[in-house]
Amino acid sequence: MINKILLNNVACFKEATSLETDKKVNLIYGLNGTGKSTFSEFLRNIVSHDEKFSDCSIETDNSEDNMKLSSDEQILVYNEKWVKENFYQSPTLKGIFSLSQGNATAKGNIDKANEEKARLDILKKSKEDENNNSLNDFKSKKNTAVNAIWQIKKDYTGGERNTDRFLTGLKGNSEVLFNYVLSLSKPQTEPSKSIDDIKKELSALLDNNVTRINPLKGVIFTGLSEQELNLLKKEIVGSNNSTFSTLIEQLKNSDWVNAGLHYVESQQEPAYCPFCQQQINKEHIITELKACFDKSYEQDKHNLQIIYEKYNQQINNIVKDPAFTQNDLLKDLSDSYNVALLNFKSVLNSNLAIIKSKINTPSKHVELAPVANELNSLNAIIKSANDRIDKFNSKIEKKDETLESLKKIFWDNIRLQYDTVLESFQNDKKKFDNEQQKIGKEILKIGEEIKKQDKIIVEQSKQVSNIEDAVANINNRLLELGIDSFNIIKYDEEKAEYKLVRSKDEDDNIFDSLSEGEKMIISFLYFIEECKGKEDSKSTNKKKIVIIDDPISSLSHIFVFNVGALIKEEFFLSSEKYEQIFVLTHNLYFFYELAKPPYKEIKRLKEEEQEKEHKKEFHLFRIVKTSKGCSFVPMKYSEIQNDYQMYWSVVNDENSQPALIANCMRNIIDYFFGFIRNNALNEVFQKKEFKGNIKFQAFYRYINRESHSDNINIYDMKDFDYASFHEAFQEVFKLAGFEEHYNKMSKIGC
């Protein structure tokens, strides 16, 4: 069954428009030129794939491919081109095969095979539904997994993310990324680097200004010589040649006396003793005190000051290396480096303070704290940094190889990170594959059984197939319609062909000599038999989708009624023979006759209930044509109007095609004034109010064109002015004295 028909970029269907249905019977109403023929011709060429319909498509309930018909479905189309191909191009007609009742055994075998085939079809459909449910369930689970993996793209691409390079070719499609990650082997061990480590390396490696990094210099600290260290240990005191030397020696306080000497030297007269604060002879006391400190004492003090300055300079030469904070490669060593440097300088500064105290108290014995451990710790960190620098410089020299290595480690990390998602999907897929294999075998087995039944039907049909029944049916129908001037006969048994003949002559092809109504009747009767029968004696019956395009274009009202009755009887009331029916027409009366439900009780129901009951039987559609093209519009049963009202609804819509509006105006005038009296219109046109108004002349010339089927007259309306035409149209009714009728009808469709 067809669920949706899409027409686009063909004929008057300028933009994509679709007809959607879930019903067997579908009735479509549209004025001439609205695309009915395009609709039927598209379906007639659905198998041949005509290029002009390349932008058109159908959707079906075919489980294998919902864009195509199934192999046991067949579309049969009655339209103008079908009539030409079957009746104009050859004097004979292709035979239609049907089953006779002559061989009861064969007929029984066919019926039994058809019943078994129907059962198998139901079973096959059930298995196909089960297969589809399994597929949909798996698709849902797969979508969940695919969406989870797509997070990789969101996390590691875009902006200034350097990991973006690892997803080249994988960022545009979630399915592609998913399949790539699924194809990765799960690492047996933890990757040597984390993704954060990889990001840091990439940041350094891909820097546009990146060059080789110079190794860091280790910290060198020579410290003091052995002689200098011994001087710190030495007790430096004054000489024994002074009056005070014995006392100083006993007091062990030469440092204090030395300090007092400097105090006395800095005083003005009178001077005071730095020790007892009594007035003294400054020159004498200075002479005696200086005698306590000889040249060796002064030299040792001088050497202590040199030691201090040397040690202090070495400390000042030890500066913090900025590489640990400026280079991403070393930033994680920065804290340990700072601590080690701080510890080392702390010990050095402590030693410098010890040297300072020695200068202040030369007689004091001092020793410096060892710094080897702190120095070694600091240089060990610098060595670790240099090891990294060496590796990085090596990577710079082999950049491409390094990036490829980092890429593999990156995907190893990703594969482990999403292992749960992938493992779950693989389990779901394994289960799905097993289900598909099992159900597939069952469907295949059922398909083989169906083929066996088809073979039985073909073999048994050979015994009962004939082309005579179709001949009898067509001729009986012709007589029922009162047509006895021609009939159809079996022409060639071997070729299985028919021929149209008259009672009195045997023309090669009498179809051309028939009236338009007769041509339509015989062609449609033949089409009905074609729908009922088979292509040949060997083929099996298929599910048939029937499209009937405007079969009553040239018929009298009597034949319109008869054709409507034929369609109802053959296609509506016996709809179990057919999978789906589409009927298209331009005639609103015919449309109304077809749309009437097959039971009278619906007329007693309220409008809403009528619509509800009607929808059980049919889908109604209208094809609407505007400046944007044609489109399908669902239609309610209550909306059906007669032709005259429909013409008014077109005229009242200024968005309708100009040619359509003008043509409908002329049809309204023909209908109305033909009913009143023929010369009433001429009287209106001769009145000075109309004849003397220049705005109405285009309308006047159009209405008085002799042929109503003149294509130039209908379509060559480049300067159509809706307002002027509408004003002239209204004036006709006003001057004729029927303005009230105009006012009433002008409300239709608004």
Q: Is 588 found in the same domain as 485?
A: yes
In 3D, which of 671, 488, 576 has the Cα closest to residue 118?
Answer: 576
Determine which helix (DSSP H) or strand (DSSP E) holds 76, and give its type and residue range. strand 73-78
pLDDT per residue as tens digits for the range 178-202: 999 999 999 999 998 899 988 888 8
Q: Is 628 found in the same domain as 713?
A: no
Instruction: Count CB atoms within 10 A of the CB of residue 495.
Output: 9
- Classify residue 433 by burial, with Cβ atoms within 10 Å: 0-12, 13-18, 19+: exposed
Collect the ranges in the chain with pLDDT lower than 50: 97-103, 241-247, 251, 464-465, 557, 599-605, 706-718
Measure the CA angle with vertex 124, ends 123 and 125; round to 5°.
Answer: 90
Answer yes or no: is 199 within a domain. no
Answer yes or no: is 399 within a domain. no
Contact 56, 15 (CB under 8 A): no
Instruction: List the structure tokens of 486.
Output: 């021609």
**Phi, then psi, of 78 in degrees rounded to 5:** -105, 115
Q: Is 593 found in the same domain as 511?
A: yes
Q: Is 614 found in the same domain as 652?
A: no
User: What is the CATH classification number for the domain harbouring 87?
Assistant: 3.40.50.300
Give the start-end residues of each E strand in 493-639. Answer: 497-502, 543-549, 580-585, 618-626, 629-634
Domain's final residue, options 638, 670, 689? 638
Contact 507, 513 (CB under 8 A): yes
Determine which helix (DSSP H) or strand (DSSP E) holds 598, and give its type and residue range. none
Domain's final residue, options 614, 638, 662? 638
Instruction: List the structure tokens of 466.
Output: 């004939």
Q: Is 312 found in the same domain as 264?
A: no
- Structural domain span for residue 682: 641-745
The partner residues of 97 in beta bridges, in order of sequence, read: 534
Q: What is the pTM of this model?
A: 0.46
Q: Is 645 found in the same domain as 604?
A: no
Answer yes or no: is 145 within a domain. no
3-state SS class at 465: strand
Instruction: List the structure tokens of 245.
Output: 């030397």
Task: Return d(Cα 502, Cα 483) in angstroms, integer.
Answer: 11
Position 716 scores a pLDDT of 46
Position 674 scores a pLDDT of 64
Q: Is 624 found in the same domain as 496?
A: yes
Q: Is 522 found in the same domain as 588?
A: yes
Position 54 scores a pLDDT of 87
Position 626 scores a pLDDT of 78
Q: Provide the domain count of the chain.
A: 4
Answer yes or no: is 346 within a domain. yes
Q: Is 555 found in the same domain as 487?
A: yes
Answer yes or no: is 388 within a domain. no
Q: Is 551 found in the same domain as 501?
A: yes
3-state SS class at 344: helix
Domain's final residue, options 251, 274, 293? 293
pLDDT per residue as tens digits for the range 328-359: 778 889 999 999 999 999 999 999 999 998 88
Position 135 scores a pLDDT of 92
Q: Is 719 found in the same domain as 578?
A: no
Relative to beta strand 497-502, strand 486-492 is: antiparallel
Position 101 scores a pLDDT of 45
Position 669 scores a pLDDT of 84
Q: Is 605 found in the same domain as 512?
A: yes
Answer yes or no: is 301 within a domain. yes
Answer yes or no: is 603 within a domain. yes
Task: Return d(Cα 263, Cα 666) in angstroms, integer.
Answer: 137
Contact 593, 561 (CB under 8 A): yes
Answer yes or no: is 300 within a domain. yes
